[in-house]
Structure 1
Amino acid sequence: MSHPIGVFDSGFGGLTVFRSIVNELSGYDFIYLGDNARAPYGNRSFETVYEYTLECVQWLFDKGCPLVILACNTASAKALRTIQQKDLPHIDARKRVLGVIRPTAEIIGKYSKSGSVGVLGTQGTVSSGSYLLEIEHFSPELKVSQQACPMWVSFIEAGEHESEGAAYFYKKDITELLDKDPEIDTVLLACTHYPIIEQQIKALLPAGITVLSQGSIVAASLRDYLQRHPEMDKRLSKQGVRTFYTTDDPALFEQRGSLFYGSPISAHFADVVD
């Protein structure tokens, strides 16, 4: 049986991170799972996000993945810690689940000269306070301002991210973020969907503001993790196989997912709820 790395997201957005991970670790086997049937997660309760995420993580474990990456900020914010502390010891203490928030929080302080950073994310990620806690841990000197962007993922998932309606909300939310702290010189895209609209975001920001997306950061962090944990690295199969699953229509996932992944994909249906 193969032992791929599992990569999970509530929908398409995690494919932007997955693309970077595959580029960084091209020789490894991977399974990507998008819970598109229940996306987006951003406005759902902590309990619901935890329940859905755990079901998807267990499905990936059942597919042979000893290591799962939550390539979803909302799942990382609302479910990761509980799964790590409560569920893994009972499921299999040798398995691991990692998220995307900590790797980003570790390095964001290196980019800001003013000491003021902004975070754009879903309602769920922002309300969780996870980025505030993690950045405080690694860079307590930073001033962090957050802005929830509740409409962005819906526009992106629907393929309407270049519409006039979407542009109105981009401008509104970015303006609100900058109004909170005019000294912001670094903006983190704390949602894996947002790289799709990175150019629109940059066009609405003053010149000189650094925009960080998570793909390359998470990929580099995962490589470092495997170097520091050779016992996990030895368990992983390395045939360069990538398999894509969705809880929704595979044909639709192939069509829209290719935009996020950057090349054509072939998807299969996943029934994560027995």
Structure 2
Amino acid sequence: MTIKEAYNIQSDFWRKNGDYTDDELFLFTEASHLLIEETGEPEFMFDLGAVYYERKEYDLALKYYEMAAEYNYHPANLGLGYIWYYGRTGTVDHKKAFEYFSKESGDDNADYKLADMYKNGYYVEKDQVKYKALIESLYSRVRYTDNVQDKLPEVCLRLAEIRLGEGDTEEAVRLLKEGKSMLASRIGFDPFFGNYNIMRSFVEQLYSLVEVNVNDCDIFDSYYLLQKPCLIVFEYDGLPYTVRSDHEDDGSISIKFDEKWYRTPDDFLRKAEIDGTRLTLAAWKVKIKEVYYIV
């Protein structure tokens, strides 16, 4: 294999967007090893580590991230921070996580994790002043973003909590609505399960502060609405639909939509489809019209 062929193999692999065969993965790893050996560029070390990370082969991800980090390659420092923060290889090491994230101080993702470490006292002493300063700085940097993968939703959720603690309920509500809106767009782009967990937190916190206004509701507000026995009438692409929630004798919830049953609001939001499209991946097509509570 020549260097040119290795470059071409890598380019073809990235165009697969994760939809690759075992043979294509093998060729990619062989090409990566050649490029690492011949060029010594940390980019190829990190990229190989990133593929292993995505495949949950964390020991190999660690190996190649560490190789790239020896060149102070910034994405590798972040990757190592995440590996040690979450204990991907079996051991949580907040000291190492803090050191790697600190190397990338000023990066949104690094500062977000550093903020959480100050909030929770991971390796460092709990420091609400530093936590608040980092979150406020992050918000000023991401509030006008149009990139749904940026940390705006997570930052809004944390800053809303801070503002609520300061007694500014109005600003907390504004932040919750802002972050919830961006997160809805992100879920339409990336239905990662963690994004649904964050959305549930948004909805729960929002409706602990304000009353439901059907005119302002979207499909994600079902996290709150379906907790009570009710019938939700909504339009999807201009056509009418209903979803019904009932409480069983044992206290569990049963949700019926389009002749299918769901166990929880979360189950409904992650799985419910119309014409093969998950509702939450086309949330902009959904318009809540009425909510009837069942007594």
Short-chain TM bin: under 0.3
Higher relative contact order (CA 8 A, sep 6+): 1
Greater C-alpha Rg: 2
Higher share in helix: 2
Q: What TM-score do you get using the length of structure 2 for normalisation?
A: 0.25
